[in-house]
Amino acid sequence: MNVGVISDTHDNVPAVEAAMDRFEAAGVDAVVHCGDFVAPPVIPHLDREGIPVHAVRGNNDGEREGLASAFEALDGGRLHGRFAELTFDGLEFAVVHGEQRPVIEALAAADYDYVCHGHWHVHERRAVDGTTVLNPGAHFPTVADEHRTVAVVDTDADAGDAVAFHGVEASV
């Protein structure tokens, strides 16, 4: 199973569309968004037939009711609040936006296979005692091109080879 991971889209509709195109090309079965959509109008651009989107809210996400309504309209979308525990192919994922590094570290020390977060606008993959900590990158307008990335987790691959970063070449 392939799981797409994205974060910090900050109302960047062209980047969201390019990311979803990248995910479709990679054959993702589900998408995880680690927060900071900013506003509801970007949410419909996550909608692709047969690809559920699981998401958490970030520190810049306002219009909570509007975001929740936008997610209800997606084909299989769900906004989980500020934290989500998800299972894909028997692997446990913890998802937060990640503005507090001690929270990320505590989750990494817990019994998860993956801790997915955003907030810091820099892609990262590191191992912590058998847990992969993953920040897919960001799409905020001031983020450098090399950090405008998404990640794809292959749940069938060995841990060291399971994550691939993909550049997204679209911006506001």
Supply the pLDDT for residue 112.
Answer: 97
Q: How many CB atoms lie within 10 A of CB 158?
A: 7
CA dihedral sign, ordered 141, 97, 74, 47: positive
Distance, CA of 65 to CA of 163 (rounded, Å): 33
Contacts made by residues 159-164, CB under 8 angstroms, sequence distance 24+: 159/127, 159/130, 159/132, 162/132, 163/125, 163/132, 163/134, 164/26
CA-based torsion, 95, 139, 89, 162: positive or negative? negative
Q: Which amino acid is at 33?
A: H
Pair 134, 116: CB distance under 8 Å? yes
What's the pLDDT at 170? 62
| CATH hierarchy code of domain 2-167 | 3.60.21.10
Between 159 and 96, residue with greater pLDDT: 96
Q: What is the largest CA-CA distance in the chain?
A: 40
Smallest CA-to-CA distance from 166 within 25, 47, 14, 56 is with 25
| Residue 46, CB-side half-sphere exposure with 13 Å CA sphere | 32
Q: Over 90: is that where the pLDDT of 75 sits?
A: no
pLDDT of residue 124: 94
Q: Are strands 131-135 and 124-128 parallel, antiparallel or unpaired?
A: antiparallel
Domain residue spans of the chain: 2-167
Chain-centroid distance, C-alpha 118: 7
For residue 22, pLDDT over 70 is answered with yes
CA angle 95, 101, 105 (to 5 degrees): 70
Q: Hunting for tokens 């091109």 — which residue is that?
A: 145
Q: What is the pLDDT of residues 107-147, one digit of tens each?
A: 999 999 999 999 999 999 999 999 999 999 999 888 877 77
